[in-house]
């Protein structure tokens, strides 16, 4: 069964409550209809109910079964504002400021999750990544023991000899512009968990560089060597190796030539890039030039699943992300 079908089946069993924060956006409404029809999750749409009613009537979209909440008038606003003040009291947030922030659905969604009124959220069809992520990072925060939220793409390649039957996971393609050694180690460990729980694969993690096992000398190489060491110390049970070049990670012959005896070289299915530039450009290269399907970004490390869409997303991208988010909510 295709990976996305497996994810959808898991989501169906869980029936989690997913907030679609951009509830007056047309693709989002069309996606909500499909999610409800396919019973992938319970849907909460944020936005003005009249606008939503007009749009759905005009477009013939059936969202009966969705809960619609207007962040401007909802009667839980005061309760939510108190939760916000409690979380941000060290930053001096006042009730008045919190109530004003709640007018923004991108703030309202994460607070619903924090209050236990929803299990996950998706936004980003009409908002920039930073605007979706900031309130999530500020209020939902990270899982216990995790300090870094990062984002992966599951790449499904046409060439099934690569990775795990054509599946590779790339990290971090979405969040941390310039991670340090410790953060890279954490990203590797969090990605291993995503590989198991979402992609259903046993991770073999390559820490990528422009050098394999000391073939080049540079501070950037040292960074990946140290990140690999820290990851080993933090999670000795995981198969992690590096620093290594991409060809050594993916090609068996090159891998054994450049890194003899490595259990990862030539067989990697998780690629941890040294920074956001390389990872973000890298996944788009594979998507555009190799025709791979790119599923993501799937955000990981957050205390509850909140995922960011691309502004160019399609209706089916939103449906798939709703299923992934529902699955992450467990």
Closest CB to ligand ACO among 149 and 292? 149
**Binds ligand ACO by CB under 6 A, chosen from 138, 215, 226, 256:** 138
Question: Residue 11 Cβ, how far from ligand ACO at the closest point, in Å?
Answer: 21
Pairing of strands 167-171, 204-208: unpaired
Q: Is 134 in the site for ligand ACO (CB under 6 A)?
A: yes
Q: Where are the beta strands (DSSP E) in the chain?
A: 17-20, 42-46, 67-69, 120-123, 150-156, 167-171, 204-208, 239-244, 270-272, 293-300, 306-308
Closest CB to ligand ACO among 61 and 303? 303
**Binds ligand ACO by CB under 6 A, chosen from 3, 55, 175, 205:** 175
**Binds ligand ACO by CB under 6 A, chosen from 133, 156, 221, 319:** 133
Q: Is 148 in the site for ligand ACO (CB under 6 A)?
A: yes
**Binds ligand ACO by CB under 6 A, chosen from 149, 155, 198, 319:** 149
Among the listed ranges 14-22, 169-177, 184-192, 258-266, the one in contact with ligand ACO (CB under 6 A) is 169-177
Question: Residue 89 Cβ, how far from ligand ACO at the closest point, in Å?
Answer: 12
Closest CB to ligand ACO among 47 and 274? 274
Please say whether the dihedral angle defined by the alpha carbons of residues 118, 106, 319 and 298, taken in this order, is positive or negative: negative
DSSP classification of residue 272: E
Contact 209, 268 (CB under 8 A): no
Closest CB to ligand ACO among 179 and 242? 179
Contact 182, 224 (CB under 8 A): no
Contact 239, 204 (CB under 8 A): yes
Which residue ranges make up the site for ligand ACO (CB under 6 A)? 129-130, 133-134, 137-138, 142, 148-149, 173-177, 280, 297
């Amino acid at each position: 069964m295709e990976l996305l079908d497996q994810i959808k089946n898991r989501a169906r069993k869980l029936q989690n409550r997913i907030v679609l924060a951009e509830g007056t956006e047309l693709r989002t409404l069309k996606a909500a209809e499909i999610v409800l029809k396919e019973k992938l999750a319970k849907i909460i749409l944020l936005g003005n109910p009249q606008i939503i009613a007009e749009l759905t009537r005009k477009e013939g979209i059936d969202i009966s079964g969705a809960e619609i909440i207007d962040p401007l008038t909802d009667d839980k606003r005061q309760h939510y504002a108190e939760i916000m003040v409690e979380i941000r009291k060290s930053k001096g947030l006042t009730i008045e400021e919190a109530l004003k922030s709640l007018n923004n659905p991108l703030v309202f969604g994460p607070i619903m999750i924090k209050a236990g009124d929803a299990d996950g959220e998706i936004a980003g069809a009409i908002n920039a990544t930073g605007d979706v992520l900031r309130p999530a990072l500020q209020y939902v925060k990270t899982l216990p023991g995790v300090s870094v939220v990062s984002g992966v793409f599951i790449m499904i390649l046409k060439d099934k000899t690569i990775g795990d039957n054509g599946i590779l996971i790339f990290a971090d393609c979405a969040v941390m512009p310039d991670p340090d050694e410790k953060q890279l180690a954490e990203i590797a460990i969090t990605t291993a968990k995503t590989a198991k729980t979402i992609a259903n694969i046993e991770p073999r993690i390559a820490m990528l560089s422009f050098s394999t096992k000391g073939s080049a000398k540079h501070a950037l190489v040292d960074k990946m060597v140290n990140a690999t060491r820290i990851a080993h110390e933090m999670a000795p049970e995981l198969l992690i190796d590096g620093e290594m070049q991409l060809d050594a990670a993916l090609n068996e012959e090159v891998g054994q030539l450049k890194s003899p005896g490595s259990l990862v070289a030539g067989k990697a299915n998780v690629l941890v890039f040294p920074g956001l530039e390389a990872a973000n450009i890298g996944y788009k290269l594979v998507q555009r030039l190799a025709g791979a399907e790119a599923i993501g970004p799937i955000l990981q490390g957050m205390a509850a699943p909140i995922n960011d869409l691309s502004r160019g997303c399609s209706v089916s991208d939103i449906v798939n992300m709703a299923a992934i988010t529902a699955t992450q909510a467990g």
